[in-house]
Structure 1
Amino acid sequence: MLKDRDSAAIVGTKDLARARAFYGQTLGLEEAPASGEGVAMFRTGKTVLCVYPSDFAGTNKANAVVWGVGDEIETIVSDLAGKGVTFEQYDMDGVTFAGGIHRAGDFRMVWFKDPDGNILHLNSGD
C-alpha cells in the first residue's frame, strides 16, 4: 500500500517567518516552489520538509526530523555552531559527548532544536 510512496517530514511553528529564516538561512535548505503564505516547503535530499503554523509547535519530546549526513557530521556541526546553533546533550550508556557530538563507537549523533523547540537530529548514517 504505502511501501512505494514517498513521505515527507512535517513540523509545526508558531512563527512562520522565523521558521523560514531558520530552515532556509541557518540550515541552508532551499524553499520549494510549493511554499505559500500559510506553509513553507523545503527541499532536503529527495524529500521535502513541510513547516506549518501550529499552536502545538515544539511540544513533541521526540525527534521531529532526522538527517543521515555520513562523514560530514563534524563539518556540519561546526558550521551550525558558527551560526549560533546549540546542541543538546543526552546521557546514554556507552555514549560519549564532546563538541556537540555524541559518539557510540564509530557512530556519531547530534541533536539540536529549531526556534520552536522541535528536536532535529543528525547522525553519521547515510
Structure 2
Amino acid sequence: MMGTMTGEAGLRGADGIGFLPTTDLERARRFFGEALGLAVEEATPFACVVRAGATMLLVTKVEELRPQPFTVFGWAVGDIRAAIAALRSAGVEMLRYEGMPQDTDGVWTTPGGEEIAWFHDPDGNTLSLTRFTNPPT
C-alpha cells in the first residue's frame, strides 16, 4: 500500500522512491530484473520501474552519466552470504576497496558488526548489501 503525505506528518508516512540513471534502459531492465531478480513493474522509452522490497526504484534514461564514487542505493539483507552467492551466480561481482579489510566474499565488517558488500550496476553506479546486527524497524 502506498503511503500518502498528510499535512501534519509531512513526509513521515510517505513511501520513498529511489532514482538511478542509466544510458541503456534495456540493459538496466535485464540487470535489475534478471540478475538482481527485482520485479519490473513498467518499462517505457524513458524509465524502468522496479520494486526493491517496498521501495519503488525508478531507473531513468540519461544521455550521459558520470557514476559517483559512493554508494547510491542499497539493500538491507538478512543473509549477506546468500545474497552475494545469488548475485555471483547471476554474474555480478563484489567490489574490493584498497585499504579496506574485506573477506574473501568482499564483505567489510564495521566496528559495530554490520556486514557490507558493494557491487556495480552496468552503468557503474555503486550499489550495496548490508546485514545489520540490529535491523532498523
Say yes or no: TM over 0.5. Answer: yes
Kindly report which structure 2 residues correspond to 1:18-29, keeping only aligned pairs within 5 A, or say none.
Answer: 18-29=27-38
Instruction: Give TM-score scaled by structure 1 length.
Output: 0.87
How many positions carry a matched residue from both structures?
123
Work out which structure has the larger RCO, using CA pairs closer than 8 Å and 6 or more positions apart in sequence.
1
Larger Rg: 2
1:91 is displaced (CA, Å) by 4.4
The alignment partner of 2:65 has SS state of coil
Q: Which amino acid aligns with 1:50?
A: L
Q: 1:2 to 1:63 in 2, by over 3 A?
A: same
1:107 pairs with 2:98: no
- Give 1:50's aligned residue: 58
Residue in structure 2 matching 1:4, options 13, 18, 34: 13
Instruction: Report runs of 4+ in structure 1 exceeding 4 Å deviation.
Output: none
Summarize deviations over 1:63-98 as a string: whole Å, max 9, x none: 11111002x2101101111111111112466x4432
Which residue identity lines up with residue 14 of structure 1 in the other structure?
Answer: T
The answer as to whether partners of 2:96 and 2:102 remain within 8 angstroms in 1 is no
Q: Deviations over 1:11-65 (max 9, x none)?
A: 00000000000000000001114x4232100011111111011134352222111
